[in-house]
Structure 1
Amino acid sequence: MTITERSPWTASVAAVRGLIIDTVEHAGNGHVGAALALAPLGCAIYGDVLRHDPARPDWPDRDRLVLSAGHASAWQYVLLHLAGYDVTLDDLRSFRRLGSRTPGHPEYGVTPGVETTTGPLGQGLATAVGLAVAERLLAARFNRPGFEIVDHATFVVASDGDLMEGVSQEAISLAGQWGLDKLVVCYDSNGITIDGPTSLSFGVEDQVARFRASGWVVEQVAAVEDVEVLADALRRVRNRRDGRPTLLILPTEIGYPAEAVRGTTKAHGSPLGAVEAARTKAALGLDPAVTFGVPDVGPQMLDARPRGSRERSLWEKTFAEWSREFPELRTAWDAAHGPIPRDVLAGFAVPTHEPVSPRNVSRLVLDELGNRLPTMTGGAADLVDSTKTALAAAGVFTAAAPDRNLAFGVREHGMAAVVNGLALHGGISKPFGSTFLTFGDYMRPAVRLSAVMGLPVVWIWTHDSIAIGADGRTHQPIEHLASLRAMPGIWVMRPADAHETTYAWRAVLARTEGPVALVLARQLLPVLAEAATDAAAEGVARGGYVLAGETGDPDIVLLASGSEVHLVLAAARELADAGTAVRVVSMPCWELFEAQDAAYRDAVLPPAVRTRLAVEAGSSMGWHRWVGLDGDVVSVDDFGASDHGDVLLRHFGMTVANVVAAAHRLLGLADTTNRGEEA
């Protein structure tokens, strides 16, 4: 239908488009094209199909809607306003302004009704797969015949750009493999990108064949201006239960119905301008002189509050009956949706009789947590046996039998986005994803979003240094710790032994907001008697502590994280034997240490002691924050090499002799050490 034809939805579509125009024009910047074209779809979703209650955006069994094409944020904000969410006209007027609830791209926790932060293309689609996985897991755990308390769909609005991003292929492959038939992707196929028509870069790929090859149902809805046709299609695919997710292709025209820009790149990322805005509003039957006005007829069709209240009330009645019928399940539900008990690892003991790798200690912790946290879920990017991240108490998630070990395959980026979705959904305790530290770069965009959103996820990265040996430069992380420590909002924890690994996991479990990176060595490390104390446990929880040595002001402070703590302890003993007063500080988590009060930090690193030496088998970047201008760092500021780990450690200076020599230089002492083969 055209904009001149009438239907019960005509005024609603016009109101949405008018407010989108006003919102972007008032801001003076923004993306109007996709938002205008998708107005009928928005009316169908928010006004008819979506199962949601604007008065309770956190209703557990609501449908989820993810705007993966986050540049069209004005579309979502306008629809949230008209649907009855706490998004006001003043919020629309402050679009893309500092401190507003309507930022340039949707942000979780900022705007009611926004399920996840999107903007980097492909992230929303991949995160939505995690939302759908969480729904499937919780349904399998808590539903009983006659009591389907978990039964909702996940809708995604995706663009050409979303499908160009590589993470989208990882996501659609996983969704098809896992049979996520409650996942519906609405593909805004408008054929335009910033650089021009998609034929320049995206013209030969057959999207229908691509999705069908990944196990999806693909349909096209040509009547993209007909709200009722769109709603019928959405309802039908929402209720399909054949083990296949759905792609609905919508051949929209970007910028429609703005005649001057429709179908062109000009419609993508700029306001229409005063003249074209007025002309388009007039064509919609709106008064061009009125801004942020809502017509009296039609838009009330989008008010989802009465319908949402009824649907939620029915669910709450069923939930109450289910709670009476299955009290043990209700207790488990509350536990899954509440804070993790502080004593969840009570009674867990680390192995202390022989050297053990931190990754294997982490495996033992996960074995315990898999039993004690029955909805904990995660996996690795085809490296479960190497990263030790299988939950022994659970099976592997399949389409036929959903369980808590997710086999992600070699898909680090998709894995991380899925884990974010698990956390966003709720009811999944400490979701985790894992790979080698060097491959963390493949997942970085999603890791960054976990920090932006403050999600309580765990990134378990093993094989943390050149000590992994013969795999060589491609597998040996150098700059990765520095890069992660530069990211706001994430704790980077690199424990030194079995004790510190257990303490680090306790810190992970205690963190309710924000991700934690557990960076774990592969090699066997001695169990430190010095770390087997309550003071050490508290010290790890505070990010850094005095592990050994001088309690007063020493001559020198040696600092390290992870496996290099053992190295500085050995160097400290040699220095002490020669009459130097030494303090050894273990620094497993800079972010936690920085968060302590000045008195604690000064007690660990006395300001009067300016002679400090840090040791880490990675980039030196950042360590001068702790050692100061008068200190130094023994580090690896080059890519690694292929050989046995002990050979590489010697080659790159990770030796007692080299640490002692560096300490002597700082202290102004002659280096009398016979470095011999260690050099």
Structure 2
Amino acid sequence: MAPSIDELSVSTIRGLSVDAVNAAQSGHPGAPLGLAPAAHAVWRKMRFNPSDPKWFNRDRFVLSNGHACALLYSLLVLYKYELTVEDLKQFRQLHSKTPGHPERLDTPGVEVTTGPLGQGISNAVGMAIAQKQFAATYNKPDFPISDSKVFCFLGDGCLMEGVSSEASSLAGHLQLDNLIAFWDDNRISIDGDTACAFTENVPERYKAYGWHILEVQDANTDIQAISDAVDEALKIKNKPVLIRLVTTIGYGSLAQGTHGVHGAPLKADDLKQLKRSWGFDENSNFYIPNEVSDYFAEKVESNKKEQQAWEKLFSEYKEKYPKEGAEVQRRLEGKFPEGWKDNIPSFTAKDKAIATRKLSEGVLDYLYGVIPELIGGSADLTGSNLTRPEASTDFQPPSTGLGNYSGRYIRYGVREHGMGAIMNGIDTFGAHYRTYGGTFLNFVSYAAGALRLSALSHQGVIWVATHDSIGLGEDGPTHQPIETLAHFRAIPNLSVWRPADGNEVSAAYIAAIEGTDHPSVLALTRQNLPQLEHSSIENALKGGYSIWPAEKPDLIIVSSGSEVSTSIDAAKLLAEKKVSVAVVSIVDFFTFDKQPLEYRLKLLPDGVPILSVEVLSTFGWSKYSHEQFGLNRFGASGKAADLFKFFEFTPEGIAKRAEKTIEFYKGKKVLSPLHSAFEELK
């Protein structure tokens, strides 16, 4: 009996996937073979337009188990995204559109970068939050301009990673019924049968989170059962849905059901018998039957009509609700409100000393009122991070009485890593969302995996990272960041701002808000800092500038954050000894390094020894200084003032090291550390 069009479609998806892996002689054929029926069934239900992959009201698809990306690429080819069979033949090759794991910047139709397990499902939670917030803010009766869904595939590895638990727990609390996740329950990981390490009852765990559970016992072949499960999931209210798909990894191959089919191409004889079992020529490669092409094209045409109907609806919406319509249009175009930064707080040296975390609170209060797409929260440290604008409402299910879905403040709970991955999802959703999350600087390290993906994926999320040094108080070395900034400064495409006063805080926020193509970490103090005489928002936006000028200095001190004012006090002490010291505030390495070499050399010229001062690891400061004064050990418990005195981060301690630096370099030829044999290659 001839296969049905759906069965033929599934065989085609499987064939393209295994052929891509075979062409590369690298990749993961097992999951695509098992998940092809589910992928086909789900995509038949989704709204999307390959010729306009960023259509705002499209349904989003996330492949959290990103090693199965040959499956996703095959779907994108069949639906005629900007991806072809030739691209499949270049799977995992340099400069191809089909990299070894999905990357949102490389492949049209890929919503988020996945691969590190657990991140994708957490991103999906962020997308669902963004959709709920947008819909609650802008939808009107008879004008559902946002009603899209988020579909996510995930595997056992995703479920084992802690970040997925954090995000899934929050999704259940938030009752995100626009999120449907599909668990590929194939019982295999790289180490073999999951019985060796993963025997928990996943459905019961997700029930406890507040999810609705559905199951398909034969997801290898029963396409209709999968389709029916999707239909049922779409009817569920007030709960996200987890659909358990019982599959066989590598279904149909000679190695099915084993870890051997997880991360290696199929053998030649296995490929041939598979293709014969589908009714394909065993020697054919990348075969797409004409009837399958036509079948997929019909779905695309149907979806195009869905988009046309939405565009008509949105046009009518703008006529009936011109204010909201104009705001939505602006956001969809990726534009900021006119004059949004005109009245951002600025300061003079006469203003009182304030902690930069408190200054941050004031800037957030201001920004909240002028940027309606600003949405953020804290990992259970609202009162310490000072991240909740005074006029804000919590993002909560209305039934809880704690807020509503139009709220723009998210209570993340003690879930730093989940928060980071969720922020990436909010950013990815679109609608120009500018999202931030607060925690202690030291605990951003918990979220390093998500932060790295933010930078790799060019996602403009913002970390409000308070308690930035030993100055955080008596909590001690468990809470005191030492190596944290060195780590983050080493991540490509990441801004790490450590402002020294109010103007530098405002500059950091302007840059972070405008930095839609890279994430930002704002490292902020718990202790009060003075407003500095020569600071300015304009200069701070360059990432580094002269904060204490001196003619023909004997020494230049480069510093950041709380140590800038102390370095200036050291310069004043040395001036009494007729020693001339200039101080340069380097607020953000990433931004400073983008300035013209001529500008940087003017601040850090030849002929003058340079000393860096920062009460964290000295690692990385050698790019700007000849000598480094920092903290290359863990901190200690005690009052902030006592700790700074003990470690000699005082005017006297800095002055002592400044004099030693001047003496050491006296009579020697001193070149700026900025010089590089490779400068012309940059």
TM-score, normalization by structure 1: 0.94
Partner SS, residue 9 of structure 1: helix
1:450 to 451, 454, 457: 454
**Equivalent AA in structure 2 for residue 158 of structure 1:** L
Deviations 1:381-420 (A, max 9, x none): 0001101101222211111111110000000011111111
**Residue 547 of structure 1: aligned partner:** 547
1:258-277 to 2 correspondences below 5 Å: 258=253, 260-277=254-271
In the TM superposition, residue 341 of structure 1 has moved relative to its aligned partner by 4.4
CA contact (8 A) 2:345 2:363 kept: no
**Residue 142 of structure 1: aligned partner:** 138
CA distance in 2, matches of 1:607, 1:110: 42
CA contact (8 A) 1:377 1:428 kept: no
**Equivalent AA in structure 2 for residue 104 of structure 1:** G
In the TM superposition, residue 281 of structure 1 has moved relative to its aligned partner by 1.1
1:655 to 650, 665, 668: 650
CA distance in 2, matches of 1:391, 1:339: 22
- Where structure 2 has 5 or more consecutive residues not aligned to the other structure, the ranges are 399-403, 666-682
CA distance in 1, matches of 2:647, 2:279: 73
Deviations 1:148-207 (A, max 9, x none): 00001100000011001111111111111001001000000000011010111011x111
In the TM superposition, residue 331 of structure 1 has moved relative to its aligned partner by 1.3
1:260-339 to 2 correspondences below 5 Å: 260-303=254-297, 304-337=299-332, 338-339=334-335
Partner SS, residue 636 of structure 2: coil
1:13-412 to 2 correspondences below 5 Å: 13-46=10-43, 48-203=44-199, 205-224=200-219, 225-240=221-236, 242-258=237-253, 260-303=254-297, 304-337=299-332, 338-341=334-337, 343-350=339-346, 353-400=351-398, 401-402=404-405, 403-412=407-416
CA contact (8 A) 1:281 1:288 kept: yes
CA distance in 2, matches of 1:341, 1:330: 14
Change (3 A) 1:649 1:342: farther
1:632 to 623, 627, 652: 627
CA distance in 2, matches of 1:334, 1:564: 44
CA contact (8 A) 1:106 1:119 kept: yes
CA distance in 1, matches of 2:378, 2:96: 38
CA distance in 1, matches of 2:275, 2:571: 76
CA distance in 1, matches of 2:96, 2:477: 45
**Residue 528 of structure 2: aligned partner:** 524
Structure 1 stretch 225-234 or stretch 410-419: which is displaced more? 225-234
In the TM superposition, residue 19 of structure 1 has moved relative to its aligned partner by 0.8
In the TM superposition, residue 292 of structure 1 has moved relative to its aligned partner by 1.4
**Equivalent AA in structure 2 for residue 545 of structure 1:** Y
Deviations 1:31-89 (A, max 9, x none): 0000111111111122x101111111100000000000000000000011101211101
Partner SS, residue 158 of structure 1: strand
**Residue 401 of structure 2: aligned partner:** none
CA distance in 1, matches of 2:339, 2:462: 19
Deviations 1:453-492 (A, max 9, x none): 1111111100000011210010100000101000000010
In the TM superposition, residue 527 of structure 1 has moved relative to its aligned partner by 1.1
1:512-591 to 2 correspondences below 5 Å: 512-531=516-535, 536-551=536-551, 553-591=552-590
**Equivalent AA in structure 1 for residue 532 of structure 2:** L
**Residue 496 of structure 1: aligned partner:** 500
In the TM superposition, residue 223 of structure 1 has moved relative to its aligned partner by 3.2
Partner SS, residue 377 of structure 1: strand
In the TM superposition, residue 581 of structure 1 has moved relative to its aligned partner by 2.1
CA distance in 2, matches of 1:18, 1:511: 42
**Residue 460 of structure 1: aligned partner:** 464
Change (3 A) 1:176 1:134: same
1:472-511 to 2 correspondences below 5 Å: 472-511=476-515
Partner SS, residue 187 of structure 1: strand
**Equivalent AA in structure 2 for residue 592 of structure 1:** T
**Equivalent AA in structure 1 for residue 629 of structure 2:** V
CA contact (8 A) 2:337 2:371 kept: no
In the TM superposition, residue 545 of structure 1 has moved relative to its aligned partner by 0.6
**Equivalent AA in structure 2 for residue 569 of structure 1:** I
Change (3 A) 1:20 1:348: closer
In the TM superposition, residue 342 of structure 1 has moved relative to its aligned partner by 7.0
Partner SS, residue 169 of structure 1: helix
CA distance in 2, matches of 1:525, 1:71: 48
In the TM superposition, residue 99 of structure 1 has moved relative to its aligned partner by 0.6
- Where structure 1 has 5 or more consecutive residues not aligned to the other structure, the ranges are 671-679
Change (3 A) 1:288 1:383: same
In the TM superposition, residue 278 of structure 1 has moved relative to its aligned partner by 1.2
CA distance in 2, matches of 1:614, 1:434: 28
How much identity, in percent, do the aligned residues show? 39
Partner SS, residue 285 of structure 2: coil
**Equivalent AA in structure 1 for residue 148 of structure 2:** H
CA distance in 2, matches of 1:593, 1:351: 22
Partner SS, residue 342 of structure 2: coil
In the TM superposition, residue 273 of structure 1 has moved relative to its aligned partner by 1.7
**Residue 674 of structure 1: aligned partner:** none
CA distance in 1, matches of 2:503, 2:232: 54
CA RMSD of the aligned region, Å?
1.5
**Equivalent AA in structure 1 for residue 568 of structure 2:** L
CA distance in 2, matches of 1:124, 1:655: 46
Structure 1 stretch 454-463 or stretch 392-401: which is displaced more? 392-401
CA distance in 2, matches of 1:339, 1:613: 42
TM-score, normalization by structure 2: 0.94
Partner SS, residue 583 of structure 1: strand
Aligned residues: 655
**Residue 437 of structure 2: aligned partner:** 433
**Equivalent AA in structure 1 for residue 542 of structure 2:** R
**Residue 676 of structure 1: aligned partner:** none
Structure 1 stretch 347-356 or stretch 357-366: which is displaced more? 347-356
Partner SS, residue 600 of structure 1: helix
**Equivalent AA in structure 2 for residue 667 of structure 1:** I
CA distance in 2, matches of 1:466, 1:287: 68
CA contact (8 A) 2:424 2:459 kept: yes
2:616 to 595, 615, 618: 618
In the TM superposition, residue 596 of structure 1 has moved relative to its aligned partner by 0.8
CA distance in 1, matches of 2:186, 2:503: 56
**Residue 7 of structure 1: aligned partner:** 4
**Equivalent AA in structure 2 for residue 576 of structure 1:** A
CA contact (8 A) 1:380 1:408 kept: yes
**Equivalent AA in structure 2 for residue 244 of structure 1:** K
In the TM superposition, residue 592 of structure 1 has moved relative to its aligned partner by 0.8
CA distance in 1, matches of 2:245, 2:653: 64
**Residue 673 of structure 1: aligned partner:** none
CA contact (8 A) 1:54 1:84 kept: yes
**Equivalent AA in structure 1 for residue 151 of structure 2:** F
